[in-house]
Amino acid sequence: MKTIAFTVEQMEALCGGELPQSNGFDWKQVTHFEFKDGVFQPYAGSQILPGPCMRGTNRYPDGRFVYPIGE
């Protein structure tokens, strides 16, 4: 399956305007996200970050398309 890259700004829009709160994870270090097998993974350059992964959906009732896994 092909990997698709998303900018931080695109992910913010998919998350309803801002990235989700995470236990101390610094979103400023993220350069882009890669979407593969239904999961958005944060990257810094070519390095996968140990931050929260997010799963895409058709659309949640509050308008967001993306939620952190586990929420």
Query: pLDDT (tens digit, 9 = 90+) per residue, 15-71?
Result: 878 888 877 888 999 999 998 877 889 999 999 998 777 876 655 566 556 656 554
Number of domains observed in the structure of the chain? 1
Contact 56, 10 (CB under 8 A): no
Contact 31, 44 (CB under 8 A): yes
Q: Which of 24, 34, 20 minimizes the C-alpha distance to 70?
A: 20
What pTM was computed for the model?
Answer: 0.75
Domain that holds residue 17: 4-68
Q: Which of 56, 47, 69, 70 minimizes the C-alpha distance to 15?
A: 56
